[in-house]
Amino acid sequence: ERPADQPQQPPLEYDPVLCQKSTCKAVLNPLCMVDFRTKIWQCPFCQQRNPFPPHYAAIAEDNRPPELYPQFTTIEYTLKKATTLPPIFLFVVDTCISGDELKALKESLTTALSLLPADAFVGLITFGRMVEVHELNVKGIARSYVFKPVFESHSNHKLFVLPNDDQVIPGRKLFC
């Protein structure tokens, strides 16, 4: 549940707007660059330019959908289409914390994982000095992909950019 001082956004009664690139499918969000004149948005992950669906015809700088407001950090959708995929949960964890905080984090993650549906897909990305994408699908075998942080400046924001395949450092052990 959100703190009382944060703006509350009711669930949206339509499906999320997805990137059209078949290998991406990111959801429209406040980090997307939007051209309100041409009704096009650019995916911040794959840079694909996407048209807005017809129900966004009235979109304008002063008439944005809730997905484009940064104060709504979580958007809930009431899906119109039935989904055949199980739910997906992605945990993104900052590991630059003290030992006590790390222990509490491990306990919190363990509790959160125990509450997820059995058929859920779970992803884990940790970041500190390095960014690690962990594979959690094989019992007893810890596997991760380690990236040296690469940042690009875009206007007033610094964005993390995934490196090329030849810059990936295979496997360090998961912290827990």
In a domain, 16, yes or no: yes
Indicate whether this model's pTM tops 0.75.
no
| Phi, psi angle pair for 104, to nearest 5° | -65, -40
Are 113 and 76 part of one and the same domain? no
Q: What is the pLDDT along the chain (176 residues), one digit of tens a residue?
A: 555 666 677 889 888 999 999 888 899 999 899 999 999 999 988 999 999 999 999 999 999 999 999 888 788 888 887 767 788 888 999 988 888 998 999 999 999 989 998 888 888 888 888 888 887 766 666 677 887 766 655 555 555 555 444 444 444 333 33
What per-residue confidence (pLDDT) applies to 171? 41
Instruction: Using the 3D structure, point to which of 60, 81, 102 is the last residue of a domain.
Output: 81
The token duo for 121 is 């897909």
Same domain, 110 and 161: yes
* pLDDT the model gives residue 157: 55
In a domain, 176, yes or no: no
Number of domains comprising the chain: 2
Residue at 71 is within a domain: yes
Is there a single domain that holds both residue 5 and residue 54?
A: yes
- Check residue 103 and give its pLDDT: 92
| Listed residue (110, 131, 130) closest to 122, CA to CA | 110
Check residue 146 and give its pLDDT: 83
Q: Give the pairing type, strands 143-147 and 151-154.
A: unpaired
Domain extent at residue 95: 88-170
Residues 49 and 124 in one domain: no
Nearest to 125 by CA among 77, 155, 171, 91: 91
With tokens 């000095």, the residue in question is 129
pLDDT at 167: 43
Q: Do 73 and 138 sit in the same domain of this protein?
A: no
